[in-house]
Structure 1
Amino acid sequence: MDERKRDSIVTYLQRRMAEFGITQEAIAASIAEDQRGLNSVRYRDAFGNGWDGQGAAPQWVVTATSAGQSLEHFAVPRAAEVPASRHAGVNWREDPFAGSRLATIKPEYRQSS
């Protein structure tokens, strides 16, 4: 995105925030609250429905478990359980091929210079 377009978008957003009385602190608090909500979800289905495991189970959980699906099938992995990325060695800022198959070439296939 070029600088002029970015500045235009920022100006537009600042004007709309002022129009509705939204502060930067309110946005930061809202984002933090959303993150806390996302982190508290213990079970999620393919449609994005979530449940924190507290209280009565929502209908999608009842339906799935009644059909024989295990509740653990819907478990959301915690940060410690998430496997390391297979692209961990890729420098995403400097590599022009980052994110493509070319960034995943194994060192033994690279030609030495």
Structure 2
Amino acid sequence: MATNTERAAAIRWIQAQMADYGLTLEALQAAGCFEPPPPPPPPAAPPVCYRNAEGLTWDGQGEMPSWLKRAVNAGQSVEFFRVG
């Protein structure tokens, strides 16, 4: 965090730049300088680690899905469904 002295110096610099370029607060507002930033992008979906022939997927987190449990209980290896 900037100290009060640093903040005051920054304000003076900005005022000097505005005076040098003939800028007004209204001109800066019209140019969109004070628009709120865009919202952050939604978090990326977790990568798919396992997929079956029907396209059902699992990221390997949390409880194993029923389609994979059934395959493992039938004797199939979990690694058979690993992607990549």
What TM-score do you get using the length of structure 1 for normalisation? 0.36
User: Greater helix share, 1 or 2?
Assistant: 1
Whose relative contact order is higher, 1 or 2, with alpha carbons under 8 Å and at least 6 apart? 2
